[in-house]
């Protein structure tokens, strides 16, 4: 009887603690405006990546009821200074967190300028189907009506929510949830800076509640990953922009530099002028993989449309923007130089 009583007491103490066990979310901070500080609240000028992650978490004390949060500073840069080395560091740490079961979800705080590129890179190389959510802000932490704390709060609620599992890497911004593959920065300064022109958002975060209305358009983890390690050397792939009457000097210069790939941000359906066409022939003959993408923000680049890709020796980006096509080509080239295999990746990932 006494034994039963003791067990009962222990259960009443432990059970609520079990019931309250919060999902663990690790924030990997890289800098950006969300961690930016200005001299005063009404001054536009500020320095990105100044505020440490612990201070950012401190701006949203109620988040402690949503998740058990820890923060790690991976870098402190404005995202215009994002590098492949930081991408690799992020990816390796994120894979390790899930492999060691250190967290249920990850949030990456990041400048907005290249957030879509980091998101897509992670989307291709992460090996777990647990949620990874990128976010940032358009206004520095010291600004009037800073958007960072709300975006960070939403990102944590998304990463902590089991519904976010198996959806690939996500970007959370201004209450919208976007697939990292499809999202792009669409405004230079507004707080609703992000959108997915081809697909729209996949969900919404509001007041701590997370809802999804669509799924990723492509395969997600763990089917998708392309393996990388700290030693992986990514091939050089550059982007060349097409515009009316553009001379082909940049393409020829890149071939001279022996780059592995060139993505052309073509006009319309991935088109370019006669000067580019001749330079592309020279690039292909030199063994450079040339991928046709488009500077147009929505739609896809269609294989063998105005341009016969088989004849010219090019591949197409499908609906990836030039900056994302570059990432897929860099990673794809670590696997194969075969054009057919590379083209397949663009239709699959
Ligand atoms: N250019 C900086 C960056 O991308 C600030 C822009 C931002 O975060 O909104 O980190």
Tens-place pLDDT, residues 226-272: 999 999 999 999 999 999 999 999 999 999 999 999 999 999 999 99
Please determine, for residue 153, whether its predicted confidence score (pLDDT) is greater than 90.
yes
Q: Could you confirm whether domain 21-212 is CATH 3.40.50.1170?
A: yes
**Whether residue 136 has its Cβ less than 6 Å from ligand 1:** yes
Mean pLDDT of all residues in 149-165:
97
Instruction: Count the Cβ atoms, other than its own, within 10 Å of residue 105.
Output: 26
Cα 137 to ligand 1 centre (Å): 8
Cα 117 to ligand 1 centre (Å): 13
pLDDT for the residue 230: 94
309-344 tens-digit pLDDT: 999 999 999 999 999 999 999 999 999 999 999 999
Look at the domain 237-348 and name its fold.
Rossmann fold (3.40.50)
Q: 158-178 b/e with 16+ CB inside 10 Å = b?
A: bbbbeebeebbbbbbbbebbb
* CA atoms of 228 and 121, how far apart (whole Å): 11
82-120 tens-digit pLDDT: 999 999 999 999 999 999 999 999 999 999 999 999 999
pLDDT for the residue 88: 98
pLDDT for the residue 89: 98
133: left (phi over 0), alpha (psi -120 to 50) or beta: beta
Average pLDDT, the chain: 92
Using CA positions, which residue lies closest to atom 2 of ligand 1? Answer: 78
Please pick, among 12, 30, 33, 321, the residue that the annotation labels catalytic: 33
pLDDT for the residue 2: 55
**Whether residue 78 has its Cβ less than 6 Å from ligand 1:** yes
* CA atoms of 255 and 279, how far apart (whole Å): 9
As annotated, the residues of the chain forming the CATH 3.40.50.1170 domain(s) are 21-212
How many Cα atoms occupy the beta-carbon half-sphere of 100 within 13 Å? 9
As annotated, the residues of the chain forming the CATH 3.40.50.40 domain(s) are 237-348
* CA atoms of 253 and 211, how far apart (whole Å): 48
What is the value of pTM for the model shown?
0.92
pLDDT for the residue 50: 75
Pocket test for ligand 1, best of 35, 46, 83, 112 (most atoms within 8 A of CB): 112
């Amino acid at each position: 009887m006494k034994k039963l009583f003791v067990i009962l007491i222990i259960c009443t103490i432990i059970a609520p603690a079990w019931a309250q066990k919060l999902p663990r979310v690790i924030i990997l901070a890289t800098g950006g405006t969300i961690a930016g500080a200005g001299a005063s609240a009404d001054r536009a000028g500020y320095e990105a990546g100044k505020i440490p992650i612990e201070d950012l978490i401190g701006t949203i004390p109620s988040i402690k009821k949503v998740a058990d949060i820890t923060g790690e500073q991976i870098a402190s840069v404005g995202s215009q200074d994002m590098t492949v080395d930081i991408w690799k560091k992020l990816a390796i740490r994120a894979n390790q967190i899930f492999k060691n079961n250190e967290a249920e979800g990850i949030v990456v705080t990041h400048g907005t300028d290249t957030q879509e590129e980091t998101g897509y890179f992670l989307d291709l190389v992460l090996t777990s189907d647990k949620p990874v959510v990128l976010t940032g802000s358009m206004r520095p932490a010291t600004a009037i009506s800073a958007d960072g704390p709300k975006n960070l709060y939403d990102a944590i609620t998304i990463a902590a929510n089991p519904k976010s599992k198996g959806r690939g890497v996500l970007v959370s911004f201004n209450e919208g949830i976007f697939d990292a593959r499809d999202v792009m920065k669409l405004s230079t300064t507004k707080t609703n800076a992000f959108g997915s022109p081809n697909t729209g958002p996949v969900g919404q975060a509001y007041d701590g509640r997370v809802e999804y209305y669509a799924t990723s358009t492509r395969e997600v983890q763990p089917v998708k990953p392309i393996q990388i390690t700290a030693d992986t050397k990514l091939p050089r792939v550059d982007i060349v922009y097409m515009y009316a009457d553009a001379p082909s000097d940049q393409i020829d210069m890149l071939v001279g530099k022996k780059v592995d790939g060139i993505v052309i941000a073509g006009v319309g359906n991935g088109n370019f002028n006669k000067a580019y066409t001749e330079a592309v022939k020279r690039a292909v003959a030199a063994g450079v993989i040339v991928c046709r993408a488009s500077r147009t923000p929505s739609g896809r680049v269609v294989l063998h449309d105005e341009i016969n890709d088989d004849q010219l020796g090019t591949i197409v980006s499908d609906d990836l923007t030039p900056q994302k096509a570059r990432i897929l080509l860099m990673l794809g080239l670590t696997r194969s130089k075969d054009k057919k295999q590379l083209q397949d990746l663009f239709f699959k990932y």
